[in-house]
């Protein structure tokens, strides 16, 4: 990120150059598991590799051979990247230990972003490498060429475990980078998931801090990114929905500029819940969950108090008291019935969230539900209508023949039943090679 962010839409964050263009391995994504040479059919012999390529692929023997031959482990390559950087970004823990034992500088700056090996490991999410480098004294508070320390990189790339580890090692959750951005702001702007935002909130991070140049809070950044997940978390954590940036814009103003209905509704509800828009009793009852709970708990006590209040009135006529009791009872019944019919109407008319299937989808489901036996023997089942020919069921010979067959079997063997091999009686035309036969599941 260049010094101040020119506009909100400008891409923020650091994008590392992982390896030279001529090398196409994915080794820095394999989380430390050395690739089997047998899997690299195009690579037969690594004895001719240079030390940078051997480090990227984790060929420990080749790297040690070159170092023992006199290669300086502190020497950067043509891209100003040291061997420790390549080992860190590819999660080669054994090579990191070896290079440091040979004098490699653990906090050496290098690359286009002028980053340390710890920055590279953090950017790729290699927790084991981060732990190893910090054991050797790597400083996570150092900033790279874009002004970000390790906790800012971990937050913006969504590496929750590394964020937790850095906080456990003493990193400030409200630490600002050179642009005045905190880890919470980066998480709100770049990570569209619950964590690491939820993790940072559990450590009592300041949700209403503004950045250095735009004075945007984390809620501003979440709205700018359309990060609905983080918006909900920030509102639950008590983020100020009326906070204004340097242009005098609140998060609600930014949401209206982007015409995002979901964000507008939720931010307006948050304002109403805090009493900013002076909502009416019914609107507050609908929007404020805490107020709604208090009303629900207080209603029974109000009814009991009214009953006792009427009984203690200094009125001799019980008729008047009875009318008062009747009025209280009628009011309770009326409110209960209103709530009852309201819920009934909502359950009747509102969408319960069912996804309706189209006719084509229903046909496919019905077809897939037919068993293999039914598909193969469709001609023999009466409930299947075969268009090309009539129904051929061996078990349906008509009423008279069925009665005769029944008595042939039941009359003490007086009539010997005719044994018919049904597999030879009917032929099923099935030619799998030509594709004209029945369809199998």
Q: What are the pLDDT digits (tens) for 46-78? A: 888 999 999 999 999 999 999 999 999 999 999
Least confident of 49-58, 273-282, 431-440: 431-440
| Residue 339 covered by a domain | yes
pLDDT of residue 394: 60
Same domain, 380 and 330: no
* Contact present, 269 and 231 (Cβ < 8 Å): no
- pLDDT over threshold 50, residue 352: yes
**Average pLDDT in the 174-185 region?**
95
Q: What SS3 class is residue 108? A: coil
Report which of residues 343 and 159 the model is more confident about: 159
Q: Where are the alpha helices (DSSP H) in 140-236?
A: 150-156, 160-168, 183-190, 197-202, 218-225, 228-236
What does the pLDDT average to over 174-178? Answer: 95
Q: ∠ at Cα 404 (398, 406), nearest 5°?
A: 100
**Half-sphere exposure at residue 310, Cβ-oriented, CA atoms within 13 angstroms:** 18
pLDDT at 399 over 50: yes
DSSP 212-280: TTT---HHHHHHHHT-HHHHHHHHHTT--TT---TTS--HHHHHHHTT-HHHHHHHHHHHHHTTTT---
Q: Residue 378: give the domain boundaries.
A: 364-425
More confident residue, 41 or 427: 427
Least confident of 23-27, 147-151, 388-392: 23-27
**What mean pLDDT comes out for the span 6-26?**
39
Q: What is the pTM of this model?
A: 0.60
Average pLDDT, integer, range 398-423: 64
Q: Determine, yes or no, domain membership for 434.
A: no
**Separation of alpha carbons 144 and 150, rounded Å:** 9
Angle, CA 348 vertex, CA 344 and CA 352 arms, to 5°: 115
Phi, psi of 185 (to 5 degrees): -65, -40
The whole-number pLDDT of residue 13 equals 46
**What average pLDDT does this structure show over 420-426?**
62
Number of helices (H), then strands (E), belonging to the chain: the values are: 21, 0
Taking residue 94's Cβ as centre, other Cβ atoms within 10 Å add up to: 15
User: What DSSP state is assigned to residue 21?
Assistant: T
Average pLDDT over residues 100-106: 96
Is the pLDDT assigned to residue 92 strictly greater than 50? yes
Copy the structure tokens of residue 96. Answer: 């990191």
At residue 25, the pLDDT reads: 36
Mean model confidence pLDDT for the chain? 79
Q: At a CB cut-off of 8 Å and minimum separation 6, what does 268 contact? A: 252, 277
pLDDT, average across residues 103-127? 95
d(CA 48, CA 54): 9
For residues 372 and 413, membership in a common domain is answered with yes
> Is there a domain that residue 271 lies in?
no
CB 229 within 8 A of CB 193: yes
Is 87 within a domain?
Answer: no
Report pLDDT for 428.
Answer: 53
Q: Has residue 88 been placed in a domain?
A: no
Give the burial class of 335: count Cβ atoms within 10 A of its Cβ; 0-12 exposed, 13-18 middle, 19 or more buried. exposed
Per-residue confidence band for 323, with pLDDT thresholds at 50, 70 and 90: confident
Annotate 59-86 with DSSP letters as a single string. -HHHHHHHHHTT--TT---TTS--HHHH
Check whether residue 338 and residue 372 sit in a common domain.
no
Q: Is the pLDDT of residue 211 over 90?
A: yes
The percentage of residues in the chain with a pLDDT greater than 70, rounded to a whole number, is 71
Burial (Cβ within 10 Å: 0-12, 13-18, ≥19) of residue 132: buried
Whether 296 is in a domain gets the answer yes
Which pLDDT score is estimated for 438? 44
Average pLDDT over residues 368-395: 58
| Closest CA relative to residue 212, chosen from 433, 431, 4 | 4
The number of distinct structural domains making up the chain is 2
Q: Would you state the pLDDT for residue 135?
A: 96
> Which residues have a Cβ under 8 Å from the Cβ of 401 and sit 6 or more positions away?
none
Kindly report each contact of residues 133-139 with a partner whose C-beta sits within 8 Å and lies 24 or more positions away, as own/partner. 133/88, 133/96, 133/106, 134/169, 136/96, 136/100, 136/106, 137/106, 137/107, 138/106, 138/107, 139/107
pLDDT band at 388 (very low <50, low <70, confident <90, very high): low
Asked, for residue 414, whether it belongs to a domain, the answer is yes
Residue 317 lies in a domain: yes
């Amino acid at each position: 990120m260049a010094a101040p962010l020119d506009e909100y839409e400008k891409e923020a964050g650091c994008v590392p150059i992982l390896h030279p263009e001529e090398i196409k391995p994915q080794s820095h994504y394999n989380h430390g598991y050395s690739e089997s040479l047998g899997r690299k059919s195009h690579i037969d012999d690594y004895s001719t590799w240079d030390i940078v390529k051997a480090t990227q692929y984790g060929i420990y023997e080749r790297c040690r051979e070159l170092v023992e031959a006199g290669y300086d482990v502190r020497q950067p390559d043509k891209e100003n990247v040291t061997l420790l950087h390549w080992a860190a970004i590819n999660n080669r823990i054994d090579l990191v230990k070896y290079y440091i034992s040979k004098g490699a500088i653990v906090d050496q700056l290098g690359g286009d972003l002028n980053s340390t090996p710890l920055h590279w490991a953090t950017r790729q999410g290699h927790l084991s490498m981060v732990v190893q480098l910090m054991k050797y004294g790597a400083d996570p508070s150092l900033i790279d060429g874009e002004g970000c320390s390790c906790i800012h990189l971990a937050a913006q790339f969504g590496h929750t475990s590394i964020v937790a580890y850095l906080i456990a090692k003493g990193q400030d959750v409200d630490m600002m980078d050179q642009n005045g951005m905190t880890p919470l702001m980066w998480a709100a702007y770049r990570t569209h998931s619950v964590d690491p935002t939820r993790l940072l909130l559990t450590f009592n991070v300041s949700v209403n801090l503004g950045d250095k140049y735009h004075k945007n809070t984390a809620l501003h950044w979440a709205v700018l990114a359309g990060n609905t997940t983080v918006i909900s978390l920030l509102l639950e954590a008590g983020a100020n929905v009326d906070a204004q940036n340097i242009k005098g814009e609140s998060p609600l103003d930014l949401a209206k500029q982007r015409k995002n209905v979901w964000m507008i509704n939720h931010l307006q509800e948050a304002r109403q819940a805090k009493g900013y828009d002076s909502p009416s009793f019914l609107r507050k009852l609908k929007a404020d969950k805490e107020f709604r709970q208090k009303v629900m708990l207080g209603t029974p006590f109000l009814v009991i108090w009214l009953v006792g209040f009427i009984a203690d009135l200094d009125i001799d006529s019980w008729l008047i008291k009875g009318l008062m009791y009747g009025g209280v009872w009628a009011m309770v019944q009326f409110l209960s019935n209103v709530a009852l019919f309201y819920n009934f109407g909502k359950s009747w008319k509102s969408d319960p969230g069912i996804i309706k299937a189209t006719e084509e989808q229903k046909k496919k489901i019905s077809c897939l539900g037919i068993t293999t036996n039914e598909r193969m023997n469709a001609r023999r089942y009466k409930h299947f209508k075969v268009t090309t020919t009539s129904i051929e069921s061996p078990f349906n010979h008509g009423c008279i023949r069925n009665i005769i067959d029944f008595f042939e079997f039941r009359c003490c063997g007086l009539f010997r039943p005719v044994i018919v091999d049904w597999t030879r009686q009917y032929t099923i035309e099935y030619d799998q090679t030509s594709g004209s036969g029945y369809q199998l599941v």
